[in-house]
Amino acid sequence: MLPTLKRGVPVVEPMDAEQVERIHEASLSILEEVGVVFRDPIAIEDWKRVGADVRADDRVHLDRGLVMELIKTIPPNVEYFARDPAKNVELGGNKSIFVPMTGAPYMRDLDDVRRGPTIADLGTFHKLAHMMPALHSSAHHIVEPMDIVVAHRHLHITYSSIKHSDKIFMGMTTSPKNAEDVLDMCEILFGEGFLENHAVTTGNCNGNSPLVWDQVMLGGMRAFCRRNQPVLCSPFVLGGANTPASTAAAVAQLNAEALSALAYTQVVREGCPAIYGHYLSTVSMQSGAPMAGTPEISLMNFMIGQMARRYNVPWRTSNLLGGAKIFDAQAGYESAMTMMAVLLSGANYIWHSAGWNEAGMHCSIAKFVVDAEVCAMGYRMTQGIQWDDFDEALAAIRDVGPGGHYFGHPHTQANFEKAFFIPKLFDNNSVEQWYADGSKDIKQRALEHARRLLAEYEEPKLDVAKDEELRAYIDRRSREIPAVDALNEEY
């Protein structure tokens, strides 16, 4: 696995300091004057306790002083601990990680067939995530395991993440009870008390934009905050549908929403890690569906990066998104435009970095492995320029002279691979060679590559006692939680 990405190129900042303050002030005015709805009695009590102005039952008007005071205690950096300590990673400032996509109700499989996924399919994705060097996490429900009842799903998803990979993984926040189960399993894996001072997993709390946070998500968030585990505070932006038709105003709204949730994490537990999140899209007028790779998404990523840096909190974005129905050129354009903007925006927690197509409705195995390689390309670009052998390389220019060739020069032979990234899944042969190789498009090559990887996969074995304890936990909870197709909020 590649270590934490340390950004060596500057970020793109399309707003000047005054414009950053304009967004900031607009967001704080929204929080004070429009307010944010927390559809959750516990959150309302919490807000009242810290002196927020709650009107109409659940509409919280947040004083700008209170918000800014609260978010001050969010740690600017997060150090994550993985089952394999060599795969620990860091977040914040110029440090970033790539995390695969999650949440797909469909998949495109090893034969490129679009179908409902199973827990075995999820295992396949966790294996691939484990093997791809640029992916720093096995995430959680990359695809939804439809063969497991909804109420038990989080247990099996978490076990699959843990079992198939020794990288960090994500934690389900689909209900407060589910979140507790995940955190209990983390406690088993890492040992009692470990979570209190070590981030090992990441929750996500999606907003109901505009300006609403719901009970289930807030309950999940609280579970993570109390156990000192980072949560992504993610307004869910469908630009033009649940925001104004203006990038600047959409960012002002999103920023207000993110600030309100970030502040709330600190009400729950002062000093707990929290990550400025968002899901970001603009919608098609025609279908109302979220689009990917549009110019406004790029601009909003740049802008949100500026806001998160203003508040000195780590931030999350979404990467390599495609709206295409298949793994065609559209998916390639959309994904790469997204990634380049994301990397140059300085995002820290770079989620949905592999597999996302059809606006998140499916995860494609072919796209998963290509995206992961494209992340490795982006990683290299973002590291910046290598200067260490500059003088040596200049000496080669003198040696070779006008009209010469560099392939045979010792400096070239020693440095070629380090100097220039050669993507495995992109074909750069002549057309004649490509014909001879079977005229395969990148989808075919990627699926063959995925099959090879899976054939070579070696499971990073869990400690036997821990494995047994995890299985026992799942068995017990599976008995306690009725096996129904509904999220468990009671047992």
Q: What residues numbered 374-413 form the site for its own copies, per CB under 8 A?
A: 374, 377-381, 384-387, 389-390, 392-394, 396-398, 400-407, 409, 411-412
Number of residues that bind its own copies (CB under 8 A): 130
Nearer to its own copies, 195 or 331 (CB): 331
The DSSP call for residue 489 is S
Instruction: Judge contact between 281 and 292, C-beta under 8 A.
Output: yes
- CA 178 – CA 169 distance, rounded (Å): 15
Instruction: Judge contact between 125 and 143, C-beta under 8 A.
Output: yes
Q: Which of 86, 113, 431, 465 binds its own copies (CB under 8 A)?
A: 431
- CA 360 – CA 352 distance, rounded (Å): 9
Tokens 């600047």 correspond to 248
Residue 206 CB burial class (10 angstroms; 0-12, 13-18, ≥19)? buried
- Residues 261-300 close enough to bind its own copies by CB under 8 A: 282-287, 289-291, 293-296, 298-299
Instruction: Judge contact between 44 and 57, C-beta under 8 A.
Output: yes
- CA 360 – CA 373 distance, rounded (Å): 19
Tokens 């072919």 correspond to 366
Decide if residue 233 touches its own copies (CB under 8 A): no
- Residues 25-54 close enough to bind its own copies by CB under 8 A: 26, 29-30, 33-37
Residue 85: CB minimum distance to its own copies, A: 28
Nearer to its own copies, 157 or 320 (CB): 320
Decide if residue 434 touches its own copies (CB under 8 A): yes
Decide if residue 194 touches its own copies (CB under 8 A): no
Question: Nearest 5°: phi and psi at 55?
Answer: -120, 155
Nearer to its own copies, 148 or 299 (CB): 299
Nearer to its own copies, 54 or 393 (CB): 393
- Residues 164-183 close enough to bind its own copies by CB under 8 A: none
The DSSP call for residue 403 is T
Tokens of 475: 């068995």
Q: Which of 85, 439, 456, 458 binds its own copies (CB under 8 A)?
A: 439
Decide if residue 491 touches its own copies (CB under 8 A): no
The DSSP call for residue 291 is P
Decide if residue 112 touches its own copies (CB under 8 A): no
- Residues 65-104 close enough to bind its own copies by CB under 8 A: none
Decide if residue 197 touches its own copies (CB under 8 A): no
